[in-house]
Every structure is written in structure tokens, then in C-alpha cells.
Amino acid sequence: MTASTPAWPRPPAGRAVVLNVRVVTGSGGGPDMTLIRSAPYFRRYWPSVAYMHPPHDAGFAALQRLAAVHDYPCVGIPDRGPLDARVARELLALCRHLGVRVWHGRDYKANLLGLLLRRLHPMALVTTVHGWVTHTRRTPLYYAIDRRCLPRYDHVITVASSLHGEALDLGVAPGRCSLLLNAVDERVFSRRGDAERRTSSGSATERLLIGAVGRLSSEKAFADLIRAAAALIRDGHDIELRIAGEGPARRQLQDLVDALGVGQRVALLGRVEDTVALLQSLHVFALSSRFEGLPIALLEAMAMELPAVATAVGGVGDAIDDGDNGLLVPAGDVGALAAALRRLVQDPALRERLGRAARRTIEAQFTLSRRVAAEEAIYDRVLQDAVVANR
């Protein structure tokens, strides 16, 4: 539904309303999948989400479908750019309609709008810092906006230890800043048996399958991964590489695949809605990013018992202990990436050991139920503080 549609959701009685607010293009990314899948774990709060998205963005329908499947109230608000005043008006109307108690901003624009709208609709302000990973000419502006906004929020959540330090550097008071690592639903992302994985790949051969998931954009550095895979293929290793995702770099990546002559072994799959099935088909997961917070795709792969090779950037080290539950390599080092992948290709026992350890890591530290419980405790705290402040 859109915010101009009268059939807005109605919250149930007895549960405080949390409105998550985020800018999205197309079908969203890892944070959106996790946000929507978290709905069943909330007990005291009623979570909903308002997405600001480009008008007539056909990809947004996929995100709406996912929200409907998981019974997560989702409102789309067409956003025509920075000067579109209708966005603020519709968000204010939505806050009043739902009786929002907690505004949960998920990016710089949502953070700014939350500060503006609280003057017209009293509510607690919480934000999650997912990381400033998409570097464009506008990145300094976004960072400057967050520098102004974050210290004024009632509570700031960071999803990786590296981001926690950055938030404190921006002036957020330590008592108002919490580290809640990203998480996944380990019940959904669970391997269904080794034999099924080996036969569900769709490959005409028994080639070992390496996979990656993410937006096709420069910070994900999929070109490095393609070059590493090409090096393994030239060395005679019987592998295939499959990359799931859409984005502005698709044409450049396809040109690189063609130039390297590996089109029969490297496939850009586009958007894959059934991520579980994709991960089930793989033998190895690879993350080649130059910038990250704590990537959801990596956690999902670990939950599926996939051995992972990942670049040591952002919060990746919060999840992977090199040699214990995965392999870490320096960002931008294609040779190191190829060498780590080669280790896994050649050593089935290592793949098995790392994959099982990865699953244990998820179960111990990165479950969605644990994260939602911690998030609800933060909501309790900010609402209680608001009551005390208004006495």
C-alpha cells in the first residue's frame, strides 16, 4: 500500500507502536530482509515500517510481497527527492494514525525527519547505524547530516563494533549508544542436509559452486571476486561462481566476465528471492567487499553452514575468527582472495570444519530472537526515560 491509500494498517490494542523508517530502492537489501523477518519475535511492541522509495519503482513490489508473507505492516511513501515536502506530511499523518510511540530511523534521511516530526508528534527517537558503506559524491553530505542528528537521538544502535566507535566519535553519549550485532533467523537459514545441497545447484556437472550475494555496486567489489574465480579456473579447478543481486555495476561486471572468457563458469543471477535455496546449493560463500557494516548475507551463509572467505572490513571480524569459522583476507587483494578460495576448493575437510563452526557461531551470538529482545529492552528504556522527563 502507499501512504495516499486510506487502508493504512491498524495496530492492535495493548502494544506500543514502533515505526521503522528507511529509504529504499528496488527490493531492498539485507537490513530490510532481517527487519521484516523479525516480526514474529516481538512481544511487547508492534513493529511496522515506512519505506521512502522512488515513485513507480517496480522493484519495491518484491519488498511489499515479502512483508505481506511475514505479516509485517509495510507502508510505501513515494519520494521524489530532497525537496519533496509531501514525504514529511505523509509520515506525520502516518505517525498520528498509528499512534507511534517509537520512531526508529534506519538511515540519514529518516534520522533527520524524525527530529523534525517529533516537534509535531511526541515520540521517542531510536536509530540504527548500519554503516556508511556506499561511497558516492553525496556520502560526505549524508555523514554530515548524521553527525548533526545522531547525538540528538534518545538512543543509537550500532550493528558492528567498528560502527560503535564511529558513533561515539560523532558525539553520541556512551549511555545512549548500544552495540547490537546484526542477526539472522537461524530457523529459516538452516541447512537441510548435505545431499540436498549437492543436488540442488542446477549445475549440469558436479562442479564446486562458489556464491556471493549483494548489491552490484562498487563497494561490494565483485570484480575482485570474478578475477579471483577466473584465476582458479585458469589453474584447472572445476568451479563455478554465482553472484546474486542487482545494481548499477551489472553491465561492467558482465563486461568483465566476457573479457576474461569465463561466461560459462561465472553467472550474474540478478535478484534471487529464495536466498535459502541459493545458499543451499553452494559449497563456498565469498564476500569481497571494500566497505561493510556487518553484512547480513555473510551471517545467512554462516547459518547455512557454508565455509566463507571474506574481506576483513567493517564488522566482518565480529563474526569471523580467521581459521576458526571462516577465512579472512585483506580487502582489494585479488591474489589473497584467490588463494583462500583455492584452500577451500582443495580441502573438503576444511570446508566441513569451518561450515560447522560458522553455524555454531550464529547459534551462540547472532540469533534474531536474541537481538529483538535486546531491541525491545531499549524501547522500554527510552519510553521510561520520556515519562520521567515529562513529570
Could you state, in chain order, the average pLDDT of each consecutive group of 10 residues for the chain (391 residues)? Answer: 62 94 87 89 95 90 88 93 90 96 95 96 95 64 83 95 90 95 94 57 69 94 98 97 95 98 97 93 97 93 98 96 98 98 98 98 96 97 78 47
User: Are 260 and 341 members of one domain?
Assistant: yes
User: Are 121 and 64 members of one domain?
Assistant: yes
105 forms beta bridges with 21, 127
First CA to last CA distance, the chain: 39
Specify the pLDDT at position 4. Answer: 46
User: Are 237 and 295 members of one domain?
Assistant: yes
- E-strand ranges in the chain read 16-23, 45-53, 74-78, 100-105, 124-129, 155-158, 177-179, 208-213, 239-244, 266-270, 284-287, 308-311, 327-329
User: Are 224 and 240 members of one domain?
Assistant: yes
Range(s) of the domain holding residue 292:
194-365
CATH number at residue 228: 3.40.50.2000
CB 116 within 8 A of CB 145: no
Q: What is the Cα gyration radius of the chain?
A: 21
In a domain, 188, yes or no: no
Specify the pLDDT at position 135. Answer: 54
In a domain, 226, yes or no: yes
In a domain, 11, yes or no: no
Sign of the Cα pseudo-torsion (279, 283, 288, 293, in order):
positive
In a domain, 6, yes or no: no
Tally of domains in the chain: 2
CB 247 within 8 A of CB 221: no
In a domain, 279, yes or no: yes
In a domain, 9, yes or no: no
Residue 107, φ and ψ in degrees, nearest 5: -165, 180
Specify the pLDDT at position 8. Answer: 85
d(CA 66, CA 84) in angstroms, rounded, equals 27
- E-strand ranges in 24-108 read 45-53, 74-78, 100-105
383, amino acid identity: L
User: Are 66 and 174 members of one domain?
Assistant: yes
In a domain, 1, yes or no: no
CA angle (25, 82, 97) in 5-degree steps: 75
In a domain, 20, yes or no: yes
Instruction: List b or e across 233-254, with b for residues whose CB sees 16 or more CB atoms inside 10 angstroms.
Output: beeebebbbbbbbbbebbeebb
User: Are 380 and 304 members of one domain?
Assistant: no
User: Are 350 and 268 members of one domain?
Assistant: yes
Furthest-apart CA atoms within the chain: distance in Å: 73
User: Are 208 and 335 members of one domain?
Assistant: yes
User: Are 60 and 166 members of one domain?
Assistant: yes
d(CA 215, CA 199) in angstroms, rounded, equals 27
User: Are 233 and 339 members of one domain?
Assistant: yes
User: Are 67 and 156 members of one domain?
Assistant: yes
Burial of 81 (0-12, 13-18, 19+ CB in 10 A): exposed
CB 217 within 8 A of CB 250: no
- DSSP per position, 330-376: -TT-HHHHHHHHHHHHH-HHHHHHHHHHHHHHHHHH-BHHHHHHHHH
User: Are 221 and 178 members of one domain?
Assistant: no
Specify the pLDDT at position 198. Answer: 45
Q: Is the whole-model pTM more than 0.75? A: yes
